Amino acid sequence: MAHTSSSPSSGATPTGPAPTGRTPWFTPNRWFTDRATADPTAGRHRRGGEGTGVTGGRFLRPLVWIGLWVHVALIAFSAVSFPLVVGRPRPDFLPAELWNPIYSWGMAWTGALYIAAGFVAVAAAWILLTGWRRGLLSMGIVLVLGFAVELLGTSTGLPFGPYEYGDMLGGRIAGHVPWSIPLSWFTLLYATLLLGLRLRPGIVGSIVLASLGLVAWDVLMDPGMSLAFPFWEWQVDGWWYGMPLINWAGWFVTGLVMALTVVAIHPLETLRPAAGDRLPAAIFALNGVLPLVLVIMAGLWIPMLVGLAAMGGFLAFTLVGGSLRRHRLAPGTATGSGAPGGARRDPGPARETHRG
């Protein structure tokens, strides 16, 4: 994949006006950060010197795109299939011996596979950003934490309340937790953590924002995927359309622990270069599509409005707030802008550099 640069190549001297950091949404080199071609003056976590990236970077970069496009395709397939196919009579032109196994396979595997595809995209982008050793360490811990808290929840009712998964998110590990669920925890944590970093918070702020983003997602997701269509079932009649309010407290605390683990392994200076990436926002928004379709199909208008407000509010707060903060902190691009003698201010490190 081609890379463009707003920072100097090795040994070159920067010339011309300071970069403004403004690029179109669909510029391919803005979707994920690749430390292999990052400028070390921009705060990238680089140990091998300029031009050194993770081993296997040429494999990981296309893997991000493959995972993302499969994720998009399967979400779109699910969003179309639920209103048109799920629960509908078999089409007359298809024989039962063909329709029944296809329908059963789709119901059993599509949800798990679209989660897995999103995880593949995010995992590859995460390794490109953080490197194999620390990236796999933090990813592995979050996956273990995700499985452990879900196993605890389905076994004891803590910290989310009593619930049970069905069979439509993949086979259940230890008879309780579908294998795709820990992948989903990491995928959405990646999205909310990097979205929150757009606001340039400190450690505490980044952890809290990541957790709030997870809760915002669940506000829409839970009514859609438990009440509108039972991917899991609550064993109590909770306040929020069957869900007990303790669930959001459990999500928030779990998010805090996971985010704290990540920032303990990766200094914020390692992660901040990816704060402007498009992939986290895309992953966050995409994972609200199917829950939105399901609540609309079920006529759950209040969950739809509140869920859209929660997810949309978090997305707007981080994107717009981050953009305003970036422009406020951007180096001056016009000569004489507040600098004595008409000299341009020192631009400092280039913000927008090579991206995957």
Domain range summary for the chain, segments of one domain joined by +: 54-329
Taking CB atoms within 8 Å and a gap of at least 24, the contacts of 73-81 are: 74/110, 74/113, 74/114, 74/117, 75/114, 75/286, 75/287, 75/289, 75/290, 76/289, 77/110, 78/110, 78/111, 78/114, 78/290, 78/293, 79/289, 79/290, 79/293, 81/106, 81/110
> How high is the pLDDT of residue 45?
38
Residues (pLDDT < 50) of the chain are 1-29, 38-52, 333-356
Question: Which three-class secondary structure state does DSSP give residue 94?
Answer: coil
Structure confidence by residue, pLDDT tens digits, 255-282: 999 999 999 999 998 899 898 899 999 9
Q: Any idea what DSSP says for residue 339?
A: -
> How high is the pLDDT of residue 348?
39
Give dist(CA 305, CA 310) in Å, integer. Answer: 9
- Token digits of residue 219: 């506000």
Question: Which three-class secondary structure state does DSSP give residue 32?
Answer: coil
Give dist(CA 313, CA 308) in Å, integer. Answer: 8
Q: At what angle do helices 301-329 and 279-286 cross, to 10 degrees?
A: 170
> How high is the pLDDT of residue 53?
62
> How high is the pLDDT of residue 329?
65
> How high is the pLDDT of residue 325?
74
Give dist(CA 45, CA 53) in Å, integer. Answer: 10
